[in-house]
Amino acid sequence: MGIWKRIVLTMINNYKNGDKCARPWGYWRVEEVGEGFVVKTIAVNPGAQLSLQSHEHRSEKWEIMEGFAEATLEESVIALKKGETVEIPRGAPHSLKNSGTDVLLVKEIQRGKILDENDIVRYRDSYGRCSENCKARDGGKTVFAADMDGTLTPARLPMTKEFVEFFSNFLKGKIFYIVSGSDYKKILEQVPEKILSRISGIFSSLGNEFYVNGELVYQNNFEPEEIMLERLENYRRNSAYPFELFPNYIEIRVGMINFSVLGRDCPQSERDRYFLWDKQNGERKKIADDLSRDCPAYDISIGGNISIDVVPKGFGKEQVANRLRKIYPNEKIIFLGDRIKTGGNDYAIAQRLLALGNAEIFAVDGPDDAMRILGSMS
């Protein structure tokens, strides 16, 4: 009598509901996960496109939710609009391009016994991410990233009309990220929609939040220790600053604390006065040195014109360098910031980018200087 063996094929699905990931062309987000399938939302920036790729273990179906697309499937190029679909067989080379002027939103349904983000063979890619067996390579673009306050905008003020006019033209065809210590709401107050619509992504709160096209991709949180908050209160009470102090001096943001002896609810004239006084008296440097010595679990840096940033180790701007290099493993990354020197809140990202390689750092002295430097690269 023969022996019967029962073979069980295990379904492997390495996605989870709510997973999000930034890509050079935009981002994807997982909407639903089940046995043998995954549903994603794919957002593709205007003019951007996914690599020409294939999958060994899965088939896909694309449905256009918003915008206009150009899908490549093997030797065919298919124009798609809202409501139209295309089926992609397992193993078939395919790509997707945003052929419109607005963000392209696509519902992607993956089906297969193995569903994993690493199941990608790239044949051609605009961002230098080809697999070892690439048949061709378009050549990667340079990736730009810059601080906001004191770099792209005057400190805590809107971007100037002159800079907006220059920057909107510069951004055409560029990959550009804003990396700011400010929270996302403040960035929206300072950078106009004309620019935001062309930015590849925004790292706010020192990189503890990341937005693409207004969509939150990830967020870090922490609960500040009471002893740290008490120390900051003491610095405020014992400040030698001889003029009026204002409310909102300890601002707990996502993944960080922003501390200002003066208080963030001050008028611009008082902000300027404190900045000049601090340049002569070095109050912020003394506080930062004191905290750095006594609180080794935190990174302390001077940001903007009136504040100090307090973050747990690893929650500073250096995390942005790691994330950018993961997204763009082969691209040159150029970063501009006004606080590149030791103790400034651009120092960590600058040093980390240099350590990761293929990066260039520019210290700027305000938006006019940034405009000059970027203009030389147009």
Q: Among the listed ranges 101-115, 124-138, 141-155, 261-275, which one has the minimum average pLDDT value?
A: 124-138
pLDDT of residue 270: 97
What is the DSSP secondary structure assignment for residue 120, as one 8-state letter?
A: -
Res 9 pLDDT > 80? no
pLDDT, tens only, 112-146: 988 988 888 888 877 766 654 443 333 457 899 99
pLDDT, tens only, 337-347: 999 988 888 99
Whole-number Cα distances in Å, 307 to 143, 212, 252, 301: 29, 27, 13, 9
Contact 328, 143 (CB under 8 A): yes
pLDDT of residue 6: 40
| Alpha-helix runs per DSSP H in 282-356 | 283-294, 318-327, 347-356
pLDDT, tens only, 299-354: 999 988 999 999 999 899 999 999 998 888 888 999 999 999 888 889 999 999 99
Q: Give the mean pLDDT of the chain.
A: 90
What number is the average pLDDT over the span 360-374? 95
Q: How many CB atoms neighbour CB 133 within 10 A?
A: 8
- 61, containing H or E segment: strand 58-66
pLDDT of residue 7: 38
pLDDT of residue 125: 79
Whole-number Cα distances in Å, 28 to 44, 105, 223, 346: 9, 10, 29, 28
Res 48 pLDDT > 80? yes
Domain 226-312, second-level architecture: 2-Layer Sandwich (3.30)
pLDDT of residue 3: 40
Comparing CA positions, the residue from 151, 128, 143 lying closest to residue 201 is 143
Res 371 pLDDT > 80? yes
Residue 317: both structure tokens together:
């701007």
Contact 121, 68 (CB under 8 A): no
| Shared fold status for 143-220+315-375 and 226-312 | no
> Quick one: pLDDT band at residue 284, thresholds 50, 70, 90?
very high
What is the DSSP secondary structure assignment for residue 50, as one 8-state letter?
A: P
pLDDT of residue 140: 53
Where in the chain are the domains?
Answer: 12-124, 143-220+315-375, 226-312
What number is the average pLDDT over the span 173-193? 94
pTM of the model: 0.63
Class of CATH domain 143-220+315-375 = alpha beta
pLDDT of residue 124: 80
pLDDT of residue 239: 97
- Helix, strand, coil percentages (3-state) for the chain, rounded to 5, are 25, 35, 45
pLDDT, tens only, 196-253: 988 989 999 999 999 988 888 889 888 899 999 999 999 999 999 999 999 999 999 9
12-124: CATH homologous superfamily?
Jelly Rolls (2.60.120.10)
pLDDT of residue 212: 87
